[in-house]
Amino acid sequence: MSEAHSNNLAHHFETMEQQKQASSLGMWLFLVQEVMFFGGLFLGYVVYRSMYHDAFIAGSHLLNVKLGAFNTVVLIGSSLTIAFSVRAGQLGRNRQILGWLAATLVLGAVFLGVKGVEYAHKYHEHLMPGPHFHYDAAQHSAGAHVDTEAVDPHKVELFVSFYFAMTGLHATHMIIGIGLIVWLMVKAARRRFSSDYYAPVEVFGLYWHFVDIVWIFLFPLLYLIGRH
Amino acid sequence: MNLLSILPVSASAYAQQVDALYLFLVGMSVFFLVLIGVLITIFSLKYRRRSAGEVPAKTRSHYQLEIMWTVIPLILVMVLFFWGARLFVRYSMPPNDAVEILVTGKQWMWKIQHPDGRREINNLHIPVDQAVKLTMTSEDVIHSFYVPAFRVKADVLPGRYTTLWFRPTEVGRYHLFCAEYCGTEHSLMGGLVYVMSKADFEVWQKADGGAAGVGQLSPAAAGEALFKAKGCAACHTETPAALAPSLHGMFGHTVKLNDGTEVTADENYLHESIINSQAKIVEGFLPIMPVFQGLLTEEEIQQLIAYIKSLTADKGEGS
Amino acid sequence: MSETQATTVNETNYLNASSTLRSWLLTVDHKRIGILYLVTLTGFLLIGGIAAGLIRLELINASGRFFSHETYNKIFTAHGVVMIFFFLLPSIPAVFGNFLIPIMIGARDLAFPRLNLASWYIFVIGGVFGLSALVLGGVDTGWTFYTPYSSTYANSHVILTALGIFVAGFSSILTGINFIVTIHKMRAPGMTWFRLPLFVWAHYATSIVIVLGTPVIAITILLVACERLFHLGIFDPALGGDPVLFQHLFWFYSHPAVYIMVLPGMGVMSELIAAFSRKRIFGYTVVAMSSMAIAIIGFFVWGHHMFVSSQSIYAGLVFSFLSFLVAIPSAVKVFNWTATLYKGSISFKTPMVYALGFIGLFTVGGLTGLFLATAAVDVHVHDTYFVVAHFHYVMIGGAMMEFLGALHFWWPKMIGKMYPERVSRAGSILLFIAFNLTFFPQFILGYMGMPRRYHVYPPEFQLLHRMSSLGAGLLFISFAVVFGSLLWSLVKGKKAPANPWPAKGLEWETSSPPPTFNFDRIPEVTEEAYAYETLFGDEPGPTS
Q: Is some CB atom of chain B closer than 8 A to the CB atom of C236?
A: no
ipTM given for this complex: 0.90
- Chain B residue whose CA is closest to A147: B287
- Enumerate the H helices of chain A as residue ranges: 2-8, 16-51, 53-60, 65-90, 94-124, 137-140, 153-189, 199-218
Question: Residues C189, C192, C196, C201: is their CA dihedral positive or negative?
Answer: positive
Distance CA A107, CA A113 (A): 10
Give the global pTM.
0.90
Residues constituting chain A: 228
Query: CA-nearest residue of chain B to A150?
Result: B278
pLDDT band for position A60 (cuts 50, 70, 90): confident
Q: Give me the pLDDT at residue C4, please.
A: 39
Per-residue model confidence as pLDDT tens digits over C120-179: 999 999 999 999 999 999 999 999 999 899 988 888 899 999 999 999 999 999 999 999
Q: Name which of C309, C316, C541 is nearest B56 (Cβ-Cβ).
A: C541
Residue A220 pLDDT class (50, 70, 90 cuts) = very high
Q: Please, what sign has the CA dihedral across residues C48, C50, C54, C59?
A: positive
Decide if pLDDT at A5 tops 60.
no
Check if B293 contacts A (Cβ < 8 Å). yes
**What is the least distance, in Å, from the CA of A180 to any CA of chain C?**
15
Does the beta-carbon distance from B278 to A154 stay under 8 Å?
A: no
**Can you give the pLDDT at residue C142?**
92
For C360-407, how does the pLDDT look when each residue is reduced to its tens digit (9 = 90+)?
Answer: 999 999 999 999 999 999 999 999 999 999 999 999 988 999 999 999
Q: Coil, strand or helix: which one is B166?
A: strand
Interface test with C, best of A36, A47, A152 (most C CBs within 10 A): A36
B9-32 pLDDT per residue, tens: 999 999 999 999 999 999 999 999
- What is the per-residue pLDDT across A106-141, written as a single tens digit (0 to 9) for each? 999 999 999 999 999 988 888 888 888 888 776 666
Could you tell me which chains touch chain A, where touching means 3 or more CB pairs under 8 A?
A: B, C
CATH superfamily of this structure's domain A53-223: Cytochrome c oxidase, subunit III, four-helix bundle (1.20.120.80)
Of C244, C278, C363, the CB nearest to B55: C278
Find the closest chain B residue to A149 by CA distance: B287
Option in A29, A34, A165 nearest C232 (CB): A165
Closest in B21, B57, B78 to C543, CB measured: B57
Burial zone of C538 (CB within 10 Å; 0-12 exposed, 13-18 middle, 19+ buried): exposed
C186 contacts A40? CB cut-off 8 A: no
- Chain A from 138 to 167: CB within 8 A of any B CB: 147, 149-152, 154-155
Residue B276 to residue A154, Cβ atoms within 8 A: yes
pLDDT digits (tens, 9 = 90+) for C430-475: 999 999 999 999 999 999 999 999 999 999 999 999 999 999 999 9
Q: Which residues pair with B127 in a beta bridge?
A: B196
pLDDT at B213: 40
Q: Please tell me if residue C213 touches chain A, with a CB cutoff of 8 Å.
A: yes
Domain ranges of chain A: 53-223
pLDDT at B14: 92
Which residues of chain B make contact with A150, given a CB cutoff of 8 A?
258, 278, 281, 287
- Chain A residue with the nearest C-alpha to that of C223: A165
Beta-carbon separation of A164 and C215 below 8 A? no
pLDDT at B183: 92
pLDDT string in tens for chain B (319-residue length): 444 567 889 999 999 999 999 999 999 999 999 999 999 999 999 999 998 888 888 878 788 999 999 999 999 999 999 999 999 998 888 999 999 999 999 999 999 999 888 888 899 999 999 999 999 999 999 999 999 999 999 999 998 899 999 999 999 999 999 999 999 999 999 999 999 999 999 888 877 654 444 446 778 888 888 888 877 877 787 777 777 887 887 887 888 887 777 888 888 888 888 877 777 788 778 777 877 777 788 888 888 888 888 887 654 443 3
Residues of A in contact with B258 (CB under 8 A): 147, 150
Domain residue limits, chain C: 24-536
Rounded Cα distance, C139 and C146, in Å: 13
Best residue in C284, C290, C374, C393 for a mutation probing chain B (most B CBs within 10 Å)? C374
C80 Cβ partners below 8 Å, 6+ apart?
A: C142, C143, C144
| Mean pLDDT (chain B, rounded) | 85
Q: Which homologous superfamily is C24-536 in?
A: Cytochrome c oxidase-like, subunit I domain (1.20.210.10)
- Distance from the Cα of B149 to chain C's closest Cα (Å) equals 8
Indicate the Cα dihedral angle A199, A200, A206, A211, nearest 10°. Answer: 180
Chain A residues within an 8 Å CB radius of B279: 52, 152, 155
C window 459-498, beta carbon within 8 A of B = 460, 463
CB < 8 Å to C213, chain A: 36
Q: Identify any residues that bridge with C107 across adjacent strands, giving them in sequence order.
A: none
pLDDT of residue C543: 42
> Other CB atoms closer than 10 Å to residue C420's CB: what's the count?
18
